[in-house]
Structure 1
Amino acid sequence: MTRQRALIVDDEPDIRELLEITLGRMKLDTRSARNVKEAREWLAKEPFDLCLTDMRLPDGTGLDLVQHILQRHPQVPVAMITAYGSLDTAINALKAGAFDFLTKPVDLGRLRELVATALRLRPTDSEELPVDSRLLGESPPMKALRKQILKLARSQAPVYISGESGSGKELVARLIHEQGGRSEQPFVPVNCGAIPSELMESEFFGHKKGSFTGAIEDKQGLFQAANGGTLFLDEVADLPLPMQVKLLRSIQEKAVRAVGGQQELVVDVRILCATHKDLAAEVAAGRFRQDLYYRLNVIELRVPPLRERREDIAQLTEVMLKRLAEGPGLSPARLATDALDKLKNYRFPGNVRELENMLERAYTLCEDDQITAADLRLADACGSSENGDASLAQIDNLEDHLEDIERKLIMQALEETRWNRTAAAQRLGLSFRSMRYRLKKLGID
């Protein structure tokens, strides 16, 4: 069996020797270069599975080599070695396309983890993620999104996934994880808005038995559960400021300390995060720390709302209706032409999730396995303005109309917080007592 091969680029002989010995013990063949020129010569002569390069080189920088490899040898992951404390340099390397980074003095345990993850990356001949039943669509925005997912899967850079509620941000995070070198390790999603603030530190970092009332045994935190894999922080903008400080330190130090614990535990976790809010606006308003924002938002990936890819609606509805009919004795429903036209003209504030819920309701109500425009119950959709306002002629009773709007907003908040009523109330700016009253008034159980 052919041994995998790594290229080491550093002008310091001691560093080169250390890396050669460590990678040799991992059963890798190594080649060494002292500068950018020698590295390019090796790359032209032999195939490599990995490149480790210092940032400062006699005839250029590691970023120059990253750009060269991305253009000429895109299948080769490049890890940057930077001076201790040069976080800005490391982030610039990740933005330029580096797989990951190490700081000097090189931690050999961290080096071995990095190399192992890089070598697990699958070579791909495609520039775009293959279409599967979870991320459908042939529109230009979706093709661009799949291409970006495949590219980001070959990196360890933190990714901030922006997009509206229901657009599929968690699915995008899962696909980045599944296509990368951590695919066989855990993917741990957490909704930051659904965890009570007093339990947040314990949930993220774990706790020791007896550290507080109710801590009857040691508990593993989310960082420990995701060790070796990916931690997905959904609705990260909902983190309270004290927790943002602790999260930033854990990301920078790559270590966590359990509540009541004395020692830090080293963790190897890739961070992906998402929110439906404008994170930059949250920073400007003082509700989100700027240093954490820069650490999480190394690369931003925008998920397009459904209204920006209306040409995908026909394909989405076809697949969703087939999925709804997967039970015994069920046959797939057909979508009438007037129903499809209505869907294409609807704004979809709830995006793909709203479309799925809408079709499920219509499938239950339709006759003869055919969904008509009436079954969709969108009488006001086509007459709505672009911002969703109903005209006066469409309102029979103001109280009923306002109650309907209130019910939709509360249901959306409950769905986004996985039916955590306290978190949903916070998202809507309500007290828990007010939330409980409204749930009772609207008959929402």
Structure 2
Amino acid sequence: MLNGIANAFRVPELRKKTLLTILILLIYRVGAYVPVPGVPFQDMLSAYQLGLSSSGAMAVLNLFSGGALSRMSVFALGIMPYITAQIILQLFQAVIPSLGELAKEGEAGQRKITQYTRYLTIGLALLNAIAYLFYFRSYGVDFSNMGFPEWLENIIIVFTMLVGAVIIMWLGEVITQRGIGNGMSLIIFVNIMSGLPSALISSVTNSGSVVLTAVTLIVIIAIIPIIVYVERGQRRIPIQYAKRVVGRRVMGGQATYLPIKVNTAGVVPIIFASAVLYFPAQIAVFFPSVGWVQAVANALSSGWLNWVLSVVLIVFFAYFYTSMIFNPEETADQLRKQGGFIPGVRPGAATAAYIKSTISHITLPGALFMAVLAVVPTIIFWFTNDTLIQSFGGTSVLIMVGVAMDTISSLESQLKMHNYDGFFK
């Protein structure tokens, strides 16, 4: 591992990408501490103690924003508007034929979909910014320090948070295009990791036992190898290539395999499921004094209904996202054109059906594994109220491990392009 990191810094191109990624993440964390104009720190602390800590939905949203929401910072909206916009656009690709065709047009089509995602992100961020303004005002936060009329102060605060959301979106895309790994996933990773020190201190303070906190931390660390084992698990479908005579040479005839990951969708199902379940909480902040709206948002964000829906949505998004990134028909057609076939299976439609059946069978255990790791710590937190479990339960650990593995794999593939061994041998 250390040798791989050293090799990455020996290559000028990779060194620039790595340093750019680190710099952008540092800029993001600094922005998470810069408050919007007119925010009094003491009032924000009181609002956090009254609202964010008592609401399961807002506490999780605050976790995904890296604590920026509790500080009412420039980056208070976090990455959730962009993720929600991505979910909506991907769902629309399955139900709107024109968007589905656009997604198949290659790079040009993806650029248009990315542009639509940006526009939708701005719209959702505007709604969220207005909602959070109403939410914190309902807890008595006074934004009158600027000395402007109230309507102008509201516009300045909403506009500042909206610009912050756009900057986050831009920073994530810069990392994806010019850095290492997926920018949005890395931002979520950094947000979750930033809460580790405070979660440890809070866990020791609330439980009154360092031993209990240490045991919880050991269990969390012990789960990581299991997650890595499942994440790297594959179902290898044997592929045989027919012999072909090209001039005087005999081509083909070798045997290989088609690798299909147990968890093809990675951490996307958990991120998407979390965004869907906590979206009502983002809407509920518009109505802080309406009891039934708050009750519905909290029921979807914590409790048995949240546990059941989490399992259902994680399994659904695992199948949905896998079907979007892995097309059995296209894979079968490519094998047929290259003279490859699965032993005992006819080329064409039969091969596509076989691959599709294999994906369906291995996706379910992978999805259930993710669902169990996401839900069980939430249930434990429900009874223990341990903030360490809340901040670093199954969902957080899965996201962090998945993002770390994807980033390392991306760096490893680029290392191999420069004749280095990479991280794994």
Q: TM (normalized to structure 1)?
A: 0.24
Higher-strand-fraction structure: 1
Larger Rg: 1
Q: TM (normalized to structure 2)?
A: 0.24
Greater relative contact order structure (CA < 8 Å, 6+ sep): 2
Higher-helix-fraction structure: 2
